[in-house]
Chain A
Amino acid sequence: MKREPGRDPYLIINFVLAAVVLIIIAYSAFLSPDNDNYPVPCIHEKLTGKPCASCGISHSFSLIVRGEIDEAYMWNRYGMRIFIFFVSQLLMRIVFSVIYQKNSLLRSQIIKMDIAGSAIIFLIAFFPFIADLISRFRL
């Protein structure tokens, strides 16, 4: 069944996810690391009283957007790889959407490639958090 570009689920999902990534980048750019006015608190720290592996990641994102990479590493050492994941997802949503529209015969393969690529990038980017979560089970 041939659908209009505006009704195609893959394109809609790509568009929404790209918008979400753009919102994350805009959030990082809008909030200032000097004012430290981040609205999302660390729930993990509130519950346990101990900082978690992702504490300071918003601060780190804000510094990365402003080009202060060294200081961003100091706030959260995993901030850079997570930021790269989001940026790569933004690029992938755009590139895959264009390829998907141009190659109507290879759409199924394009979707499979997108899922596989995104899953690999996700695992690489979020590996420290996943490893941390698994290690905490052994406490």
Chain B
Amino acid sequence: MEDFSTSTGEKGDQNRKELAGQNLGIIALITAIITFVLAVIPCVGIIALIPGIIAIILASVGLSQASGSNSPRGILIAGLIIGVVATLISFSQIFVAGKIARHAERKFPGDIQNIIRDVRQDVLKDLEDASISIKVESNGEIVEIKADVKEKRIDKLQELEEGEIQPPDTLNKQESDSLK
């Protein structure tokens, strides 16, 4: 009876030694696989860094436990490798996100400058095309000032080309007579 209990105990110890780190290996591998899938998805890839590190720690602890016995290490090594790769992918997501943010920051002031330049050009163009008319009425006298910039310029250019217009610094005949 005593012998039987001793042999059962020895067998149990042997089994425990052979399976040392196996449970940790299973948990590490499952965590690493889930982390790997998460790490590739951009939305949640950054969060995957945490389970990735957990998987690496679990696999490392399992390997250290297994190193003292003859227990199989396949699951532990697989968990460690997948965990490390998943963590690297997750880390690269952080790197990429940082790069995009920096790129956006660099690009943003340039965008504002472009918008300001476009608005300024539009305003200047509108002013060039503007046709302003001011009408003042006082004691029955009506004074009307019309400023059609674009048309005036074109007309002046055409008149100058055709020689119909005098230089602008000369006065009209009626105006010069009134001055006299």
Task: Give the shortest distance, in Å, between A138 (CB) and chain B (any CB).
Answer: 10
Within 8 A of B (CB), among A113-139: 122, 126, 129-130, 132-133, 136-137, 139
Q: Is the CB of A44 within 8 A of B45?
A: yes
The B interface is mostly helix, strand or loop, or mixed, namely helix
B46 at the interface (CB under 8 A from A): yes
Q: Please provide the chain A residues from 13 to 27 with a CB less than 8 Å away from any CB of chain B in the complex.
A: 13, 16-17, 20
A105 at the interface (CB under 8 A from B): no
With A43-B47, A139-B103 known as contacts, the answer to whether A13 contacts B26 (CB < 8 A) is yes
Residue-wise, chain B 79-104 has the 8 Å CB interface mask toward A (1 for contact) of: 00000000001001100111111011
Q: Mark A47-60, 1 if CB is under 8 A from B, else 0.
A: 11110111101000
Shortest CB–CB separation between residue B48 and chain A, in angstroms? Answer: 10
Report the interface size class on chain B: 20 to 34
Total number of residue pairs linking A and B with CB closer than 8 Å: 81
Cross-chain contact B44 with A133 (CB below 8 angstroms) = no
Report yes or no: B46 in contact with A55, Cβ–Cβ below 8 A.
no
Tell me, in angstroms, the Cα distance from A85 to B121 when the chains sit together. 53
State the Cβ distance, A31 to closest chain B Cβ, in Å. 15
A44 with B46: in contact, given A129-B41, A136-B99, A139-B100 (CB under 8 Å)?
A: yes
Instruction: Give the interface centre of A9, A12, A49, A57 by most chain B CB atoms within 10 Å.
Output: A9
Can you name 9 A-B residue pairings with CB atoms under 8 Å?
A9-B29, A9-B75, A44-B97, A47-B98, A48-B104, A49-B101, A52-B42, A82-B41, A136-B96
